[in-house]
């Protein structure tokens, strides 16, 4: 999301391409295989600079998985930001992404947000055409509930393989909603009930964007933190020291410990922060129940019911 320079119409150059190459190298260095894009990131420049790196790096495309998203239009055609998952829009946007990425196909296409005017038959038609042409290999969604996934899946001939949602220790609607059933506190959370469980039972991968909590626990100005955030940051530091790793790895390890087998999406383009995530899987494997609950309670700022 951060590749390609500013969120404006300015062009990119050698510096942005070199930065993208360094980010890709750092990510591969910690075992990252899937690279997540969207047609709107940096107004298309994120895909474009990534494509430049692919073009100059022989054999790289075969070593990675590419994922992109479509469905959001940013103030186009006389309209404010809106969503468009019509047949023609999907075909147009995917072909534009492929051109920018300088590749013949993406491994996964995600429908970025629910479109209230979505016709699942149009989606099925567009996706079927793209798959028949070899341009898309698998389909997923983003920011969708269990009901929306089922509604869409009923018209599709291909399974929905992923659902990308905001999930982290800071943004815990996904977790709080599953335990605050029949509790007054549960009214504070908007995460649709049953979404996590539906994805788990249907084998739909849960991808977590915002998984590093925008650096809130790992580098933010201490004076800007709430008491709960400060306590959580301190606990992450303590656990990182005990496990001889980084707070970032502990933060992601906490997320990956959940039985939903959540796959964190690392949004940073800072090579040092990427490398700081290297131990996440091993932290998840060794994190105790007491440590997991301790972080959750610290982040909540109060005990669970």
List the catalytic residues. 41
Distance, in Å, from the CA atom of 226 to the CA atom of 248, rounded to the nearest integer, reads 19
Taking the alpha carbons at both ends of the chain, their separation in whole angstroms is 37
Ranges of H-type helices in 243-302: 247-257, 271-275, 280-286, 289-300
Which DSSP state fits 200?
Answer: H
Which DSSP state fits 5?
Answer: S
Return the ∠ at Cα 221 (arms to 216 and 222), rounded to 5°: 90
Paired tokens of 41: 């990131």
Distance, in Å, from the CA atom of 214 to the CA atom of 64, rounded to the nearest integer, reads 25
Paired tokens of 287: 């994190």
SS3 content of the chain, % helix, strand, coil (to 5): 50, 15, 40
Strand intervals (E) in 181-225: 205-209
Return the ∠ at Cα 252 (arms to 248 and 257), rounded to 5°: 145
Three-state secondary-structure class, residue 271: helix
Identify the H or E element spanning 175.
helix 173-179
Write out the DSSP string of 63-75. HSEEEEEE-EE-S
Side-by-side strand order, sheet with 205-209: 34-36, 65-70, 106-111, 136-142, 160-166, 205-209, 263-264
Return the ∠ at Cα 223 (arms to 222 and 225), rounded to 5°: 65
């Amino acid at each position: 999301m951060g590749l390609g320079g500013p969120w404006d119409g300015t062009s990119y150059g050698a510096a942005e391409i070199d930065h993208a190459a360094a980010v890709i190298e750092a990510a591969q260095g910690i075992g990252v295989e899937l690279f997540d894009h969207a047609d709107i990131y940096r107004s298309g420049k994120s895909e474009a600079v990534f494509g430049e790196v692919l073009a100059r790096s022989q054999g790289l495309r075969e070593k990675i998985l590419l994922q992109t998203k479509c469905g959001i239009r940013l103030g186009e055609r006389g309209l404010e930001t809106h969503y468009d998952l019509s047949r023609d829009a999907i075909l147009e946007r995917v072909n534009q992404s492929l051109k920018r990425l300088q590749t013949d196909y993406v491994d996964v296409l995600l429908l970025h947000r629910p479109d209230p005017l979505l016709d699942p038959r149009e989606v099925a038609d567009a996706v079927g055409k793209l798959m028949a042409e070899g341009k898309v290999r698998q389909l997923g969604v983003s920011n969708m509930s269990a009901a929306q996934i089922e509604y869409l899946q009923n018209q599709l001939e291909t399974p929905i393989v992923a659902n990308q949602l905001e999930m982290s220790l800071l943004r815990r609607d996904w977790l709080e909603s599953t335990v605050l059933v029949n509790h007054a506190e549960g009214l504070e959370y908007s995460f649709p009930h049953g979404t996590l469980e539906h994805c788990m039972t249907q084998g739909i991968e849960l991808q977590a964007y915002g998984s590093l909590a925008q650096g809130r626990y790992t580098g933010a100005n201490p004076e800007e933190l709430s008491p709960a955030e400060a306590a959580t940051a301190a606990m992450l530091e303590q656990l990182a020291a005990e496990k001889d790793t980084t707070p970032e790895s502990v933060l992601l390890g906490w997320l990956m410990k959940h039985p939903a087998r959540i796959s964190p999406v690392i949004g940073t383009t800072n090579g040092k922060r990427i490398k700081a995530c290297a131990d996440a899987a091993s932290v998840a494997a060794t994190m105790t129940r007491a440590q997991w609950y301790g972080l959750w309670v610290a982040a909540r700022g109060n005990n669970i019911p």
